[in-house]
Chains A and B, each alone.
Chain A
Amino acid sequence: MNVSIQNRRSFLKKSAAITIAPGVLLYSISQAHHAEKPVKSTTRWGMLIDTNKCVGDCTGCVDACTEEHNLTEDVPVEIKPTWIRKVTLRDKQTGRESSLPIMCQHCENPPCVDVCPTGASFKRDDGIVIVDRHICIGCRYCMMACPYKARSFVHEALENQKPHSPRGKGTVEACNFCVYRIDTGVGPACVEACETEGHQAIIYGDMNDPDSAINQKLKEVSSSVLRPDLKLNPGIRYQGL
């Protein structure tokens, strides 16, 4: 089942439900693109990544992220922006290999937010951790604090940014859960790409919503987080590790 479309449908359904007349309904559907209310702390966005379905040599999610946020600048490899990367884990004992994407884990207790001296690194009420680059001073404390190596720094002046994904020199950036897509009822680009590739290894949704696919799946299967010892309670969970 196509999760992003399903979510969008339920979003449309909800907005249709509050309308009173057929004439108003049309209006409300065209407005459904735009989130008019602040996000709520009862929501907790998350992803569940099934490492058994993630295919070793596929880079669909990484490519989609690169395209979506235009992370294409021509810079030396050591300063290339990396919002999401594919990692292969190998069990030394058994030799079993698993492949998984790692992006910002959208921690419930994010160390990157703790250390930020300006309040630029922050967590939205719905659990998405992002950088307010208007007030980021580029000190890079957050990059050092993040145990998942999830953040990148923009070293060079940029051109041709996407309208929905502003980025610029001297600030830190990371996976933002495609927040503008989430706010308008569409799933993250990586999730969509994984579906398009036919692997369906990632599902996303509001983990607090008992009707959401992710909530139900998390109840059903055993999943884990990376470095549970750090007690950061990430929003990104993995199955089959």
Chain B
Amino acid sequence: MKILTILRKLGLVLSLAIVVSTVSAGETSTLKIPKAKQNFSAEQACVEPTDVMRRQHGLLLKHYRSDTMRHGVRTLEHSLVACINCHVTADEAGNYPTVHQGSEHFCRSCHTYAAVNIDCFQCHTSQPQESFSADMGPVQSD
């Protein structure tokens, strides 16, 4: 997959930032990233190896968004909806946090820490929805 090679190269700079934040997180424990609901497979936690996901998720999402929106390709790997469904977990009361509410939200937890502003969620929902199941995507009513 050509995109991954490009992504790996581009990722070098960002990876430094992640290392720094992980180290300082160990000391100050300000960075708490909620765990995903399930592993992608027995061998792999997410749809790509964790280091690729850490550095490249933005680019993967952007690539996938063009495939989906322009060409109607709708697989679940690299889809924002599937990310949200698996990664955004409920709090003790069983409520899902929105990205606008607190650092319990998966995306927010890291992006606030890294001081990166994301505007995905002005349009996209940041919460999983009941009608969507992790492995089936949108449950169609028919």
Number of B interface residues in the complex (CB < 8 A)? 27
A183 with B142: in contact, given A34-B137, A166-B124, A169-B122 (CB under 8 Å)? no
CA distance A34 to B132 in the complex (A): 13
The answer to whether the Cβ of B44 comes within 8 Å of any Cβ in the partner chain is: no
Stretch at the interface among B18-26, B27-35, B74-82: B74-82
Interface presence of B9 (CB below 8 A): no
Query: B70 touches which one: A4, A122, A161 (CB < 8 A)?
Result: A122
- A-side interface size class: 35 or more
Whether a CB of chain A sits under 8 angstroms from the CB of B129 is: yes
Q: Are A124 and B125 in contact (CB under 8 A)?
A: no
A168 touches B73 (CB 8 A): no
Interface presence of A150 (CB below 8 A)? no
Q: Which B residues from 87 to 133 make CB contacts under 8 A with A? A: 98, 122-125, 128-129, 132
Contact count A vs B, C-beta below 8 Å: 83
Inter-subunit contact A34/B76 (CB<8 Å)? yes
A231 at the interface (CB under 8 A from B): no
Are the CB atoms of B125 and A33 closer together than 8 Å?
no
The answer to whether the Cβ of B136 comes within 8 Å of any Cβ in the partner chain is yes
Q: How far apart sit A4 and B142, CA to CA, in the bound complex (Å)?
A: 8
**B123-A125 in contact (CB<8A):** no
Q: Give Cα A3–Cα B72 distance, bound, in whole angstroms.
A: 21
Contact A33:B136 (CB < 8 A) given known A122-B70, A168-B123: yes
Interface residues of A (CB under 8 A from B): 4-5, 8, 30, 33-39, 122, 124-126, 130, 132-134, 157-164, 166-169, 171, 179-184, 186, 192
Taking Cβ atoms with an 8 Å cutoff, the residues of B that contact A are 65, 67, 69-76, 81, 84-85, 98, 122-125, 128-129, 132, 136-138, 140-142
